[in-house]
Amino acid sequence: MPNYLADVSLHPSGVLSRTTHRVPVLLRSCHPEPALAVTVFVTALAVAAGRGVAGSAAVAAAALAGQLSIGWCNDAADAQRDTACGRPDKPVATGELPSRAAAVAAGTALGLCVPLSLLSGAAAGAAHLAGVAAGWTYNLRLKHTVLSPLPYAVGFGSLPAFVTLGLPSPSWPAWWAVGAGALLGVGAHLVNVLPDIEDDLATGVRGLPQRLSRPVCRWLAPLVMLTAVGVVVAGPPGAAKTSDWVLAAAAGIVAVAGTALPSRARSRWPFRAAIVVAGMAVAQLLLRGSDMA
């Protein structure tokens, strides 16, 4: 008769060891850079808009849960494709993380995201959950179609609504805040797929950037990002300040450098440059925080 107690995997210490080992792997699998960037940006907008300490904390918790769910969903959905492409940056593809574990983590984060979003009220919660649903729709279906930018536009464009609809006096965000968010989302989509276009095409992923080709995306991405910055500068009432134009010029330099300059294969610099540009746009939004609603 086998001595099952001798199997360390059945001991509590063995379970704890596996769990402890899996936490850092899960963190690598959740797409930490965009998850943290989006969480920080939307929380900063909440503070600037007047959501207060408790309201801003609720926004941060919901945004983080939503982004984690989208990141893990992406790795679970792309497990076979990433494995076929030999993606060393994807724990599911390297065998460090079972795809089922990523799927369970995604579902758990999504389950937490619902009540956390509703802490901001029904309207604000619905706006945020619509953006999270768009991210899941991209992962599960639309990334393979010409409509691939749409979930990014909806996801990023919904963030100002999540902030302003949760104010003590709820209101829809200004058009320019939504428009800039949507454009930033589309720009992020274009630069996010740049390192993987060839692998995507080889495995049947034909979203809009893959159909446009790498050279087109290298120039279209900074154009879209700069249009977003321009909307933030020119959209709000009142004349733009010199600081706005200086920040816009700096964003232009970063955006063009991120995609136009030569870079090695699979370089994440274009996406990181997009995060910097988004941060500059958010900085301008922060200066206009009271005008966003």
Q: For 270-291, write each residue's pLDDT tens digit.
A: 777 777 888 888 777 776 655 6
Q: How many CB atoms lie within 10 A of CB 238?
A: 7
> Is residue 166 in some structural domain?
yes
What does the mean pLDDT of the chain come to?
85
Q: Closest by alpha carbon to 290, among 108, 87, 92, 49?
A: 49
Predicted confidence band of residue 195 (pLDDT cuts 50, 70, 90): confident
Q: Closest by alpha carbon to 245, among 257, 236, 232?
A: 232
Q: What is the end-to-end Cα distance of the chain in Å, rounded?
A: 70
Rounded Cα distance, 217 and 77, in Å: 24
Query: Who has greater pLDDT, 24 or 109?
Result: 109
State yes or no: pLDDT of 237 exceeds 80: no
Range of the domain at 165: 12-291
pTM: 0.86
Q: What is the predicted pLDDT for the residue at 18? A: 55
Q: How many CB atoms lie within 10 A of CB 280?
A: 21
Q: Which tens digits make up the pLDDT trace of 152-191?
A: 999 999 999 999 999 999 999 999 999 999 999 999 899 8
Name the least confident of 76-85, 100-109, 141-150, 231-240: 231-240
Average pLDDT for residues 227-249, to the nearest whole number? 80
> Is residue 1 in some structural domain?
no
- The residue type of 286 is L
> Is residue 162 in some structural domain?
yes
Instruction: Say which residues have a Cβ less than 8 Å from residue 165's Cβ, sequence separation at least 6.
Output: 120, 121, 123, 124, 127, 171, 172, 173
Residues 241 and 4: beta-carbon distance below 8 Å: no
Number of domains present in the structure of the chain: 1
Whole-angstrom CA distances from 182 to 7, 81, 175, 272 are: 52, 28, 11, 18
Q: Which residue has the tokens 């969903």?
A: 73
CATH number at residue 140: 1.10.600
> Is residue 5 in some structural domain?
no
> Is residue 7 in some structural domain?
no
Q: Closest by alpha carbon to 148, among 128, 129, 134, 159?
A: 134
> Is residue 6 in some structural domain?
no
State yes or no: pLDDT of 243 exceeds 90: no
State yes or no: pLDDT of 255 exceeds 80: no
Rounded Cα distance, 282 and 252, in Å: 15
Name the least confident of 18-22, 31-35, 278-282: 18-22
> Is residue 91 in some structural domain?
yes
